[in-house]
Amino acid sequence: MPFTYDYPRPALAVDCVVFGLRESSLVVLLVRRGVPPFEGSWALPGGFVRLDETLDRAAERELVEESGLKVAYLEQLYTFSALDRDPRERVVSVAYFALVNPVEHRPQAGSDAASAAWFDVREAPALAFDHRHILQVALERLRSKVRYRPIGFGLLPERFSLTQLQRAYEIILDRPLDKRNFRKKIAALGFVVPTDALEEGVGRRAARLFRFDRAVYAALSEKGFDLELI
Amino acid sequence: MPFTYDYPRPALAVDCVVFGLRESSLVVLLVRRGVPPFEGSWALPGGFVRLDETLDRAAERELVEESGLKVAYLEQLYTFSALDRDPRERVVSVAYFALVNPVEHRPQAGSDAASAAWFDVREAPALAFDHRHILQVALERLRSKVRYRPIGFGLLPERFSLTQLQRAYEIILDRPLDKRNFRKKIAALGFVVPTDALEEGVGRRAARLFRFDRAVYAALSEKGFDLELI
């Protein structure tokens, strides 16, 4: 049954950029499209928004349907409206992004997706629509944001060594950091706190494990303290 | 002539939050609606997006049509999709924001707006739709962003004293700042540079005027330097 309106309007879609850290790489979740257009091409998980759901819910739903992935929090990134981004008709897409620990999430394709997998962001295949552009914008937002919000912690396990933490930032920022300066800044922040646990090490002194103290961070950010990490 | 689609889709709109500094207040541009719904109520300037324009262009166009205001740069803020934000039908709105010097812009109402004026953000009237919520989100984004991006400069004249600069930040952040710490930080930034000009003062030593050096800022931000202002 067709849907009729007095005024034309574009179709509205969501797309999800989900990043993770795997070994020494930043990876992104992609799906291989099982339906036209761009059938057989890789793309960001996503789809059209239903009339009875918000954009946040649409993003969560499409991600679960197409990859099996359920994330704690999807953040709205940007709304893309280039006139020719979709060959079918005018489609405006609201992109979301999230950070997860990929070891915990084995993608399970479904719905419009024929398969789903993690790709190193530097080695992503050709993508459908304007998804390469969306991915690039997401990467820039991640790199910019990681400097002043503790979002890097979403990519790490609950307990991590300072070396692991530094490595995570170096992988995200794609540049080396000075170890001493990094540790000085981390210590000054106040919300990266030591635990009783030690990392298992072979042939070297075992490293102390740390954790991100959300309560301390919340209190500090409310007071407007200088929270720049890098 | 009605427009028919295989799948339903919400209407798509843009809304603009334009801030300025006037005397000791942060002000926002509002329009009084000349058409239903909420006819006679104040609202953010905005309207429906056309099929042949991007969201950026729609935002610029609606702002000019409804208030006469042409701004250099409108930044996308967030896309609002609460199911009941508009009484007519499902409308998703992409909000934009900008910072201007209101002394230079006398609003000239037109199109769906019966009048247009600047309001102190603390004294805004009841607003149509979810515009009070959008305004609040814009205010939070402004306050958050002003700490690590030199956007406060868009609210000031080309040349300003450090007292004026500090006052601008205090008005935006709605809290007092320590003068000595502020001046120390500003000096350390590198992109607030003194000019030859002095402010005109009565009965006190004339203050040096400064300017925002965009070239220095661009070079520093490209290198990833620590640019936190406040």
Contact: A9, B48; criterion CB under 8 Å: yes
Is residue A38, in this structure, part of any structural domain at all? yes
Question: B-chain residues within 8 Å CB-CB of A92?
Answer: 12, 49, 55
The HSE-up count of residue A107 (CA atoms within 13 Å, CB side) is 27
In a domain, B132, yes or no: yes
Smallest Cβ distance to B76: which of A6, A54, A79? A79
pLDDT tens-digit readout, A191-228:
889 999 998 876 677 899 999 888 888 887 766 555 55
Q: Which of A52-66, A76-90, A187-201, B145-159 has the lowest mean pLDDT?
A: B145-159
Q: How far is CA A198 from CA A85, A160, A164, A205, in A?
A: 50, 9, 13, 10
Residue A155 located in a structural domain: no
What per-residue confidence (pLDDT) applies to B128? 98
CB contact under 8 A, B92 and A55: yes
Q: Which amino acid is at B161?
A: S
The helix/strand/coil state of B119 is strand
Do residues B120 and B199 share a domain?
Answer: no
Average pLDDT, chain A: 90
Write out the two tokens for B192. Answer: 């607030």
Q: Is the pLDDT of residue A31 over 70?
A: yes
Structure tokens at B19: 């801030």
Q: Is B157 part of any domain?
A: no
CA distance B54 to B50: 8
d(CA A153, CA A84): 37
Tens of pLDDT along B32-90? 999 999 999 999 999 999 999 999 999 999 999 999 999 888 999 999 999 999 999 99
Q: Which residues pair with A99 in a beta bridge?
A: A19
What sign does the dihedral A79-A82-A85-A91 (CA atoms) show? Answer: positive
pLDDT (0 to 100) of residue B127: 98
Provide the pLDDT confidence category of residue B18 given band limits of 50, 70 and 90: very high
Please state, in angstroms and rounded to a whole number, the distance separating the CA atoms of residues A206 and B156: 54
In the predicted structure, residue A187 carries a pLDDT above the cut 60: yes
Q: Does a structural domain hold residue A150? A: no
- What percent of chain A stands above pLDDT 70? 93
Mean pLDDT on A46-73: 95
Residue from A35, A79, A184 whose CB has the most chain B CBs within 10 Å, to mutate: A79
Q: Where are the alpha helices (DSSP H) in B68-209?
A: 131-145, 162-173, 179-189
Q: What is the pLDDT of residues B170-198, one digit of tens each?
A: 999 989 999 999 999 888 878 889 999 99
Please report the pLDDT score of residue B178 as a whole number.
94
Structure tokens of A14? 């969501």
Give yes or no for A73 touching B (CB within 8 A): no
- Contact criterion met (CB < 8 Å) for A83 and B54: yes
Do B123 and B189 lie in a common domain?
Answer: no
- Same domain flag for A191 and A116: no
Q: Which of A98, A114, A145 is where one domain is finished? A: A145
Mutate to test the interface with B, among A14, A60, A61, A81 (most CBs of B within 10 A): A81
Q: Could you tell me the pLDDT band of residue A23, with boundaries at 50, 70 and 90?
A: confident
Evaluate whether residue B154 is within a structural domain: no
CB atoms B12 and A8 under 8 Å: no
Same domain, A179 and A73: no
Chain B interface, best mutation among A3, A6, A9, by max B CB count within 10 A: A9
Domain that holds residue A167: 162-223
Is residue B222 over pLDDT 80? no
Q: Do A11 and B5 touch (CB under 8 A)?
A: yes
> In this predicted structure, what is the pLDDT of residue A191?
85
**Claim to verify: residue B198 and residue B135 sit in the same structural domain:** no
**Residue type present at position A178:** D
**pLDDT computed for residue A56 by the predictor:** 97
> How far is residue A134's CA from residue A110's CA, in Å, rounded to a whole number?
22
Q: Which of A11-15, A131-135, A203-207 has the lowest mean pLDDT?
A: A203-207
DSSP A49: P
Assign residue B104 the CATH number of its domain: 3.90.79.10
Minimal Cα–Cα distance from B119 to chain A, Å? 26
Same structural domain for residues B135 and B169? no
What are the C-alpha distances in Å from A119 to residues A34, A126, A168? 18, 12, 17
